[in-house]
Amino acid sequence: MKKFHSSALLAKPAKPISYIVDRLMPAGGILDVSGPPGEGKSTIILSLASSISTGSSWFGLAVKKSKAAWISGESSDGDAINRDLTRLNVSEKSDITFFLPERELFKFDTRSQCWITTTEGRAVLDEVKSAGIEFLVFDTVGSVISGSKEIDNDQQRQLARHIRSETLGITTATLGHTNQASAREEINLRLHYLSKAGGSGFPGAVRWASGVSQVQHQDATTLGISEEVIGTKKLVGFGVSKHNEIPSPVWTNRRPAVFEIKPDGALVLFKDGREIQPVKKSKDMKCKEVRSAACSF
């Protein structure tokens, strides 16, 4: 248990918020990203991980250069990962280690009624920590666990806390799915963490939650994009709905970024019916190295 008193806290200057992506993603803790299967979660976060690993700005947002690791229960082999990296034009200077575990990493123990880390999970996490990883992605978290009951909010809160304790000091992004019932809702609701499959147990225990959803014809007026354009391009909305301890992010579920996933798999930022160039990096962001955006435009 941690304990603080207001007088002791106010006796020293407040520390500024530490970001891993300026004005968007805080450093530390669990950051949850949810959305329907196949709509662009992995594409967007892999692009982000690449920029973080090289210290390159991500679509105009400065990042803190950090070694990255990607734990995938969905990729088949190295060739599949190579294709994903190639279509996103990922730099050869990127520093991402990919793990494809053969068994679950976390398991719910019915006897003790708590989550445990498996032998495989311990081996992977030990490698992550020994390598000095600062940004870790689980794609998807549901593919590397067993014994999970999505509708059990208490169990899901325990899962988030268990992952947080096992990845302490590492900014960890967990990718998960939304429920089918949210598919017909407005985009701000589809991007909200309450649309996550199973309920509010897992997102309720994390520091930051965002959503990814393909833009639909019904979103035309909300996003200011014509239905004709929506019908001819794969456009994906990305926005943050939970941002504990930080001011309003640059992209929220009500003011989402819209990305286009090109037929060849490339990712570009899209606005007002056109592709746009990245804005200049924030002067408030301090990081070792910030270069031009890693993704092609």
- Residue 47 domain flag: yes
- pLDDT score of 4 more than 60: yes
Question: For position 275, what pLDDT does the model report?
Answer: 67
Residue-wise pLDDT tens digits, 219-254: 999 999 999 999 999 999 999 999 988 888 999 999
Q: 158 pairs with which residues across the strands?
A: none
Residue 221 within a domain: no
Determine, yes or no, domain membership for 265: no
Residue 230 domain-assigned (yes or no): no
Q: How many CB atoms lie within 10 A of CB 257?
A: 20
Look at residue 193 and tell me whether its pLDDT is greater than 90.
yes
Question: Do residues 92 and 86 make contact, with C-beta atoms less than 8 angstroms apart?
Answer: no
Compute the radius of gyration of the chain from its Cα atoms: 19
Query: Rounded distance, CA 44 to CA 226, Å?
Result: 23
Residue 240 lies in a domain: no
pTM of the prediction? Answer: 0.89
Total of domains in the chain? 1
| Arithmetic mean of pLDDT, 128-132 | 97
Q: What is the residue-averaged pLDDT of the chain?
A: 89
- Residue 245: the pLDDT is 82
Alpha carbon distance 297, 85 (integer Å): 16
Confidence of residue 283 (pLDDT cuts 50, 70, 90): very low
pLDDT given for residue 180 in this prediction: 77
What's 195's domain CATH number?
3.40.50.300
Three-class DSSP category at 108: strand
Does residue 290 surpass a pLDDT of 60?
A: no
Residue with the bigger pLDDT between 208 and 183: it is 208
258 located within any domain: no
User: Looking at residue 163, what DSSP letter applies?
Assistant: H
Do residues 34 and 175 make contact, with C-beta atoms less than 8 angstroms apart? yes
pLDDT of 236: 96
Examine residue 89 and state whether it is found in any structural domain, yes or no. yes
Do residues 70 and 84 touch, judged by C-beta distance below 8 A? no
Output the pLDDT for position 55.
96
Across the range 42-46, mean pLDDT stands at 97
Which of 25, 19, 61, 22 lies closest to 240 in space, CA to CA? Answer: 25
**Segments forming the whole domain that contains residue 193:** 23-211
Question: Which pLDDT value is given to residue 276?
Answer: 61
Q: What is the pLDDT of residue 287?
A: 35
Q: What is the pLDDT of residue 155?
A: 96
Residue 295 lies in a domain: no
Cβ-contact 215, 38 below 8 angstroms: no
> Can you tell me the distance from the alpha carbon of 19 to that of 136, in angstroms, rounded to the nearest whole number?
15
pLDDT at 109 over 50: yes
Residues near 225 by Cβ (< 8 Å), separated by ≥ 6?
A: 215, 219, 235, 258, 272, 273
State pLDDT tens for residues 170-190.
Answer: 999 999 999 877 878 999 999
What is the number of other CB atoms lying within 10 angstroms of the CB of residue 242? Answer: 20
Q: Which long-range contacts (CB under 8 A, 24 or more apart) does 201-204 make?
A: 201/152, 201/153, 201/154, 201/155, 201/156, 201/157, 201/159, 201/160, 202/32, 202/156, 202/157, 202/159, 202/160, 202/174, 202/176, 203/32, 203/34, 203/160, 203/242, 204/153, 204/157, 204/160
Mean local confidence (pLDDT), 52-62: 95
Residue 292 has pLDDT above 80, yes or no: no
